[in-house]
Chain A
Amino acid sequence: MSGIAGKPAEHTQEGLKGIRDTGLEEVRLRAFLAHAWRTPKGFYGWLVTVDHKLIGRRYIVTAFLFLILAGLSALAMRFQLAQPEAGYIGPDLYNQLFTMHGTTMMFLFAVPVMEAFAIYLVPLMIGTRNVAFPRLNAFSYWVYLSGGMMIWIAFAFETGADAGWFSYVPLAGPEYGIGKRPDFWAQMVTYTEVSALAVAVEIIATVFKQRAPGMSLDRIPIYVWSVLVTAFVILFAMPAVMVSSTMLILDRLVGTKFFDPAAGGDALLWQHLFWFFGHPEVYIIFIPATGFVSAILPTFVRRPVFGYLGIVLSLIAIGFLSFGLWVHHMFATGLPQLGESFFTASSMMIAIPSGIQIFCWIATIWGGRPIFATPMLFVLGFIFTFVIGGLTGVMVASVPLDLQVHDTYFVVAHFHYVLVGGAVFPLLGAVYYWFPKVTGRMLSERLGRWNFWLVFLGFNLTFFPMHILGLQGMPRRVYTYPPASGWGEMNLFISLSSLVVFAGFALFFLNLLLSIRNGRIAGDNPWGASTLEWATTSPPPSYDFSRLPVVTHREPLWAEPDMLPVVEGLRVDAREVLAGTVADAVPQIRVPSADNSIWPLLSAIAVGGAFLGSIYTPWAVVWGAIPVSIGFICWFWPKGEPEDEE
């Protein structure tokens, strides 16, 4: 750190405050930046950091831990269903298991892991040093973590949610919902949605304002477009589930009558509100996954993606259309026929922008020279599996077919094809693709291929037969079935196949653990990719880039492989980023970026305490407001850091 002692007079320009990077040699520049953007060492540093990479990493690890929990609960269910009338798991525990599986996969794994990647990657891909509101980012993680821990600790004490991941009333209402089980579910939703909304807000502000100079709207990497669209979908979808879960907890706690038909309420109101969120939720998971595909594919076929504009417009169209489909989850509830026809049409319409994307990817592969590395294998596996899931999606969008297979294993097969094929495969591909950037080391390709084939084949062997079981009439959410049904053999086959998926995931985690220490050193840009995150070191320094890049091309690193155009004039003794115009990214201001702080954590504890308390008494909200206010005031109050100077 000797390089930063004292103020080098030669670099202090007339009339400019702070030390600037102009003309500063690289070694001293990096020393200054490392000091300004440092995270303190040790446990305290872990608690106070606002570095988007550390928070993103921690989000990813946490989300994968929840994936393991949800995966193990699936395995337990398959154990029970492997033979007819098996007695390993009773109906009560089974209800909790499938509820925890769905709830965890959707709220605690899929959405957070997609946001986690965005938190890590977006600042690097758009050429800035942190997200727009770094402390909000830290806060969002702590809130997410506490919500996830809360519902799993409740499960450990036999208070696991048991009314399905959608928690339908009246089953979850005051009359039938046992003890506090649905309340823990409802408050877990509040935690995770607060966290997701916070991330959505910061992603929107970051992408709109903090892009590298020159990165006009038509030069934004498609992955960044995908997370931007997702952030907007979150913004307009998540409030629906917050409103409805608040109404549910009010019905249960203080006797409101939102869902009570005897007092003018309506049970279907819950379904409308839930699915107004629930359907876009699927796209909140799926849209960033298509972004992964559009990021990975060009690198491994060695050409820019075909139809940039078409893909971006498709992403935006999917974002809009995702709000017009929710009623197709409710075809079996006896809605007016005209309404059902409208939602059939709109459900089928979303196949159009999805199809455009798929054809663009095929054209990209067609026009390139494919290299079949593991990330690419997962992308190809995605295209194959997602097309099947998409086709059954068009099938269940039709009312008569939906009524036939509603609540059967056909639907279970369909949505696993869409969610695992459509989102988890690209996600695994993304882990293989960006692991070198995050850790500086490559994952093993050999283990990666085994990982891919086991997961891909195991997945198809597990879920394809479920279509047939569904058509044969096997209902969902049953803890057992009679031998006379004739479903025993296929269920045994499915359960055995699920072990193959399990083995595939075990290899995945093994690969991560082995490679993080012993993997081949990656270098800055091991895949020869074109986007800005590969212009910095692997792993990137705390300040991401020693000088902020300027973008002159949609594929900046392919246009100029050895030379990065950069701006000069930013402060290096305080955290500073650039903000520019929304459309053309013309620099407007040098914005200070928030320093480390303990207050996001303390505020999250206060907020979490109020949420938890409100499961038991409405007064928790009133009294909880006091520590929450103290937390927020201390968070925002300026503390005389260098970033406060102007």
Chain B
Amino acid sequence: MRHRPVADISHLPTYDFGSASPMWWGTLAFIALEATGFALAIGTYFYLAVLARHWPIGAPAPDLLPGTAVLVILVASVVPNHMIEFWARRQDLAKVRLGMVVMSIVGILPLIVRIWEFPALRISWDQNAYGSIVWFLLGLHTTHLLTDVGDTIVLAVLMFTQKGKAGRRFSDVSDNAFYWDFVVVSWVVLYLVIYWAPRM
């Protein structure tokens, strides 16, 4: 088949930010499917709660302190997270490097607090269905925290290498910040379910 050139796209950039980038859509799709997983797990929580005569079953409501501490850290992390997003879009390498180090530390902190959070549930996973679902919810969020912190650290290291000095890496940093927002928002919802639903 013969060709008829009708457009010249040679001057288009090779990366962009937000919804212009296919990777942003991939990230959004992963967020959508993971959010569905969270929603179904939360649905399971309330399904079991409706069936139970008393909720929580055979245990006091969880201790508020560690979970609230994680909430405070995560909500506060939104500030540096959005600063890094801003710097990434301006392609300010020095500030992005600094921001990535900060975000790596900010990501590790809630993981440390979480060591105390599991015992603060005040029930074991194998005691009854209530114990199973709260451990499941907390486990699910911890998995997300772990993977995103891992991702942040790898990206932080990458930004300090020669390969970090590429425009596309700034787009990666921006997508990583986007995903971190999801980790934070999902914890706000899960926090209310795990800690406040039993107190209603």
Residues of A within 8 A of B (CB): 13, 16, 20, 22, 132-133, 197, 200-202, 204-206, 208-210, 213, 235-236, 238-240, 242-243, 247, 250-251, 254-258, 260, 263-266, 269, 272-273, 276, 524, 535, 546-547, 550, 562-570, 576, 578-579, 582, 587-592, 629, 633, 636-638, 640, 644, 646
Contacts and interface: CB of A to CB of B under 8 A. Distances in A.
A567 B129 contact: no
Contacts of B36: 235-236, 239-240
B14 A590 contact: yes
B7 interface: yes
Contacts of B154: 633, 636-637
Given A257-B126, A264-B52, A535-B1, A637 B20 contact: no
Considering the complex of A and B, which 8 residue pairs feature the smallest CB-CB distances, nearest first? A569-B10, A264-B129, A256-B132, A255-B126, A265-B129, A239-B37, A201-B29, A263-B128
Interface of B: 1-16, 19-23, 25-26, 29-30, 32-34, 36-37, 40-41, 44, 47-48, 51-52, 57, 125-133, 135-136, 150, 154, 158, 163, 166-168
Given A235-B36, A565-B5, 7 more contacts: A243-B37, A257-B129, A258-B129, A263-B129, A569-B8, A591-B22, A646-B15
6 contacts: A256-B125, A265-B132, A565-B5, A588-B20, A592-B14, A646-B14
Contacts of A20: 10
A589 B15 contact: yes
- A133, A208, A589, A640 — which one has the most chain B CB atoms within 10 A of its CB? A589
A567 B9 contact: yes
State the main secondary structure of chain B at its contact with A. Answer: helix
Given A209-B25, A257-B129, A550 B168 contact: no
Contacts of A240: 36, 40
Given A239-B34, A256-B126, A547 B10 contact: no
B26 A205 contact: yes
B136 A569 contact: no
A236 B23 CA distance: 19
A204 B29 contact: yes
Given A243-B41, A250-B132, A566-B4, A201 B30 contact: yes
A22 B8 contact: yes
B33 A238 contact: yes
B3 A547 contact: yes
A367 B13 CA distance: 46
B57 A264 contact: yes
Contacts of B128: 257, 263-265
Nearest to A235: B33
Contacts of A269: 44, 47-48
B168 A646 contact: yes
Contacts of A13: 10
Contacts of B47: 266, 269, 272
A582 B132 contact: no
- B8, B10, B19, B20 — which one has the most chain A CB atoms within 10 A of its CB? B10
A200 B36 CA distance: 14
B21 A579 contact: yes
- B12, B22, B129 — which one has the most chain A CB atoms within 10 A of its CB? B22
Contacts of B135: 256
Contact of B26 (A133, A238, A524): A133
Contacts of A239: 33-34, 36-37, 40
Contacts of A524: 1
B131 A569 contact: no
A385 to B, nearest CB: 33
A637 B130 contact: no
B40 to A, nearest CB: 5
- B13, B14, B36, B166 — which one has the most chain A CB atoms within 10 A of its CB? B14
B3 A566 contact: yes
- A251, A257, A258, A266 — which one has the most chain B CB atoms within 10 A of its CB? A257
A260 B132 CA distance: 11
